[in-house]
A and B are shown apart, each in its own frame.
Chain A
């Protein structure tokens, strides 16, 4: 479970051009939920995702993780509750690596290296034996039927293949939460619905899925459990689907 309590994130604090991207947001996301955050661009969706995904620390407010892995911190059981707002970057990164898988707007693959290497990248600094995560990466490629491209540099892939590589990379460390930021912005309708289908299978596996999007194809689909509406950094409404 992820719980946000009165989260505010400001940039350039104390300067004339101070900007508050997220304002007093409180939200509870249960394990296994499929959540879409919708809103126009500049509404603070992405900033909220970076805060939840342990990439940045809020200016005020608290974020609690419950039942999620948190390596290096006391309380070894995953059921323990961790307050992540004031952790050093080192620990935030460790949590991010173990808990979250990210899919970015432009997929953000590292150019010039192969598909396989791109998929394995998040596992490199974990110190896990190479053979282990390599076979996992090959399985994922198999799952998304792109194994034949394993040794191809990512620059040579088509849009759909790139998307699937990005998803495979998000899954390499076996995360409990998948975070996707405007994943369908550059995809045609066919690929977008394929993408949603794939994500819904993750939900079926018990993973939490968190998407920021202003694409109607995403938030009007029947898949999400909850749609959070944002405007100017604040939540303006929550729609739950049964």
Chain B
């Protein structure tokens, strides 16, 4: 056992010597490899942190939202239906939600306007999200003009800027009173955007949803579990797509690695010939090649994962920012709760180290089977 260990360590010694002999080539290989690991790992860590954030933040979202559909599009929901739905056994409460979008031509940004169920703020005053405050420069006490449906300007007083740490849910929010909301959009009385339904027992939600659809076939109930699942699948999908895009980079790199491993120079052939003639066996040379690859991939993997973590959680994934921002004007600034686990590292290992290792098996073997007597000829 100790002999086996000693053999591995001896061979690692020589593998390091031979890697260091071709410094420029191997350091460039390591650099490219590390870069690929960094990109894939950043992407995975970022996506995973967002998923966890969504799950943590949305755990108190409405149990169910019921929308009315007309010709495949959302339509205004008669508030009266809320009473019918409230009568369904198992429903604890129904509230009409009033919310919509407002396009601000000056800043070219979309705001989300919403009415708080609690009756706050009072008519004439609003709360604004911190990203809006940052974008427009309005702060507490200022009067903010909003264009009504008639094109007139309506001045509303900012009484509160929503806390910056809640930006991930409230960056673009303007919270206003029901009266102002209806005046602004000429929103008909007796109608709401949709209904939020809460159930006493979450187990009953499916039954309640079935009853609502049965009673009002033109409605669409969306359960909280579906909202959360939407985020899971969006992020999984996006993460997967980014990984697929970078798979091309991985592929290119693997071709490069294959080429490096199989394109034995005359010098390398001579060296392996020498090793074999002085008593290295094919399996020893294979082990040497394995360790050369393992040293590079292990180092690249560990450094890449570390750098990726720092990139995502210390520098807020600044390399991705532009890709994620798209053409939105309002972009929330948030710090994600850091998370890293063995599962993600295993996936990363599979996506980077395993293909690299597979690509070097056959070339390594080819170089290991140089004839031992070749150095005598």
Contact = CB atoms under 8 A, between A and B. Distances in A.
Direct touching of A and B (C-beta under 8 Å): yes
A89 B271 CA distance: 19
Contacts of A105: 376
A169 B274 CA distance: 12
A148 interface: no
Contacts of A102: 277-278
B228 interface: no
Interface stretch (B1-9, B53-61, B71-79): B1-9
B150 interface: no
Given A94-B281, A96-B279, A108-B274, A124 B377 contact: no
A55 B6 contact: no
Interface string B1-21: 011101101110110011001
Contact of B6 (A50, A110, A121, A129): A129
B281 A125 contact: yes
A180 B13 CA distance: 28
A124 B376 contact: no
Contact of A121 (B9, B275, B373): B275
Contacts of B10: 123-125, 127, 130
A168 interface: no
Given A110-B271, A121-B14, A173-B279, A55 B7 contact: no
Contacts of A46: 376-377
A209 B236 CA distance: 70
Given A55-B376, A104-B375, A128-B6, A93 B280 contact: yes
Contacts of B13: 117, 124, 130
A112 interface: yes
A181 B278 CA distance: 13
Contacts of A49: 376
Contacts of A128: 3, 6
B281 A55 contact: no
B232 interface: no
**B: interface residue count bin:** 35 or more
Interface string A101-125: 0101100111111000100011111
B282 interface: yes
B-side binding surface: helix, strand, loop or mixed?
Answer: helix
A173 B17 CA distance: 21
Interface string B88-101: 00000000000000
A129 B9 CA distance: 10
Nearest to B6: A127
**A: interface residue count bin:** 20 to 34
Interface string A18-60: 0000000000000000000000000000100110000110000
Contacts of A97: 279
B358 interface: no
Contacts of B167: none
A126 B278 contact: no
B278 A122 contact: yes
A73 B281 CA distance: 16
B62 interface: no
Interface of B: 2-4, 6-7, 9-11, 13-14, 17-18, 21, 267, 270-271, 273-284, 287, 371-373, 375-377
21 contacts: A46-B376, A49-B376, A50-B372, A90-B282, A93-B372, A94-B281, A96-B279, A104-B277, A108-B273, A111-B21, A111-B271, A112-B17, A117-B17, A122-B278, A125-B11, A125-B281, A128-B6, A129-B2, A129-B6, A130-B6, A130-B9
Given A89-B281, A108-B270, A127-B3, 9 more contacts: A50-B373, A50-B376, A90-B282, A94-B281, A96-B279, A104-B376, A125-B281, A127-B6, A173-B279
Interface of A: 46, 49-50, 55-56, 89-90, 93-94, 96-97, 102, 104-105, 108-113, 117, 121-130, 169, 173, 181
